Amino acid sequence: MANLVRLWTTVPLGTFTNLSIAPGTPIEVAIDVEAESAEFASGAAFAVGAIAINKSTGETSGPLLPAGAPPSPPYGVITHMAGAEWDTVADQFRYTVPGGFGASNDIIEVCAFLRVGVGASVEAHFSFAHVIRI
């Protein structure tokens, strides 16, 4: 069974202080995933993605865009394990929260999902993690 192991955030090629991220700075979201060897080797179908929610205003970001290289699959697009996007049993997908999302002292929550399988045999995994003050 595949799992969404961890959801975490960082600032691309930068640093942040006092556990806050300056307004206007993009936030990179990393989704760590793992699959069982047999499931991975079978090329199981999966979809992954993330959104950001401004807990101070209720605004949502919409689907976050893929970041980094190799490219992560677009939000919700079904692809397959052992392919270009998920090429090792334990892998990572990266997405970006736009720099203009949120203002000073807003709290941002990132929500991610991993859906594995098709039809009646779909497994769904969700993570609502990393509240960030910007």
Task: Check which CATH number belongs to the domain holding 97 and give it.
Answer: 2.60.40
- What is the overall mean pLDDT for the chain? 84
Provide the domain limits for residue 74: 3-133
Q: Is the peptide bond before 63 cis (omega within 30 degrees of 0)?
A: no
Provide the pLDDT confidence category of residue 90 given band limits of 50, 70 and 90: very high
Query: Nearest to residue 44, comparing CAs of 78, 68, 4?
Result: 78
If one counts the domains in the chain, the total is: 1
Calculate what percentage of the chain has a pLDDT beyond 70: 85
Token readout for 27 is 């936030």
This prediction's pTM: 0.85
pLDDT in tens, 36-89: 999 999 999 999 999 999 988 999 999 999 987 667 889 889 899 998 889 999
The DSSP bridge pattern shows strands 107-116 and 79-80 to be unpaired
Dist. CA 8–CA 26, nearest whole Å: 14
Comparison of pLDDT for 71 and 102, the residue scoring more? 102
Among residues 86, 108, 84, 82, the alpha carbon closest in space to that of 97 is found at: 108
Residue 7 CA from chain centroid, whole number: 7
